Amino acid sequence: MVIFDTVTKKYKESITALEDVSFRIDPGEFCFVVGPSGAGKSTIMKLLIREEVPTSGSIFFNEIEVPKLNRRLLPAYRQKLGIVFQDIKLLDTKTLEENIAFALEILDKSQKEIKDTTDYLLDLVGLRERKELFPQELSGGEQQRGAIARALANKPDLFIADEPTGNLDSQNAMQIMDILNRINKNGTTVMVISHDLNLIDGSKNRTINIRDGRLNSDTNPKEVNIPNKQEEEKKVEKKIDSVEKKEVEISKDFDELSKSLKEKLKKFAIKTPEVLLNITNSDLKSMGLSKKENSELASYVKNYLNNNKNE
């Protein structure tokens, strides 16, 4: 499912985050990526979600070469991933139930599917009775479990948890790990990124150890077989063609924007304000907005958030 082939990532000539890192993670695996702070673990996640691109080497996810993925396909690609970030990122203005439902609304699910899936995920993380509370009314462990539930809403192929127990006591940490193991047993590939070596004590799951940007050890190393690049490029090109041939329709919420800005939103398949709020800084840079368009978009986002903060 995931292949890193001699991946190097340099932020500056003097700063090497990863150097010649190679590993393969198969579908259905549970894999820890561990190492001290600054070892390069989070860079692996950023490369996988294509927030960053490698300086050299190849990265594949489900046989798609991630660095070469057309940016118009990024929103669809990222829906294949479920990610829980270290700083959680639940929406403060929405209840726990609304946070999970919101992730499904973005995917245009029916109201019945939204309710059924939300109830199932709340039960999975043991928070059905806390569903009407806002994030600030939940404990740290409950917030983390809520974030896990929301990340599972799109039924991801790969679930990535970045320091999921970083600020939790041992009891809450055990609850989180129990949930992640259950997710894995249900068939989802799980990658846990952590500096806490206590998490792997007694665990039979695979552990990849990163130190000083290099692969230090791997408890279950696998041969790195690169997919047929020509065949995969044809697959990617076919997907791109299908997207480009289909006229992208954007939300009427964008009607007030200038024609040039709306055209750029169409070009990058940003169909709704919700998708806009989830793009990364690197995505924004790639859109090539003029200063005027940048200012217009910033004002729109500010007004949108102010108008919807009580919903």
The pTM (predicted TM-score) of the whole model is: 0.71
First to last CA, the chain: 38
- pLDDT profile of the chain (311 residues), mean per 10: 94 89 95 91 92 93 85 81 83 92 84 93 93 93 91 90 84 89 92 86 89 93 75 56 59 89 84 74 75 87 70 49
What pLDDT does residue 288 have?
A: 81
* Strands annotated E in the chain: 2-12, 15-25, 30-34, 56-61, 64-65, 81-84, 158-162, 189-194, 206-211, 214-218
SS (H, E, C) 277-309: HCCCHHHHHHCCCCHHHHHHHHHHHHHHHHHHC
Rounded CA separation 149/153 (Å): 7
Question: In angstroms, what CA-CA distances link 65 with 28, 60, 87, 234?
Answer: 20, 4, 28, 11
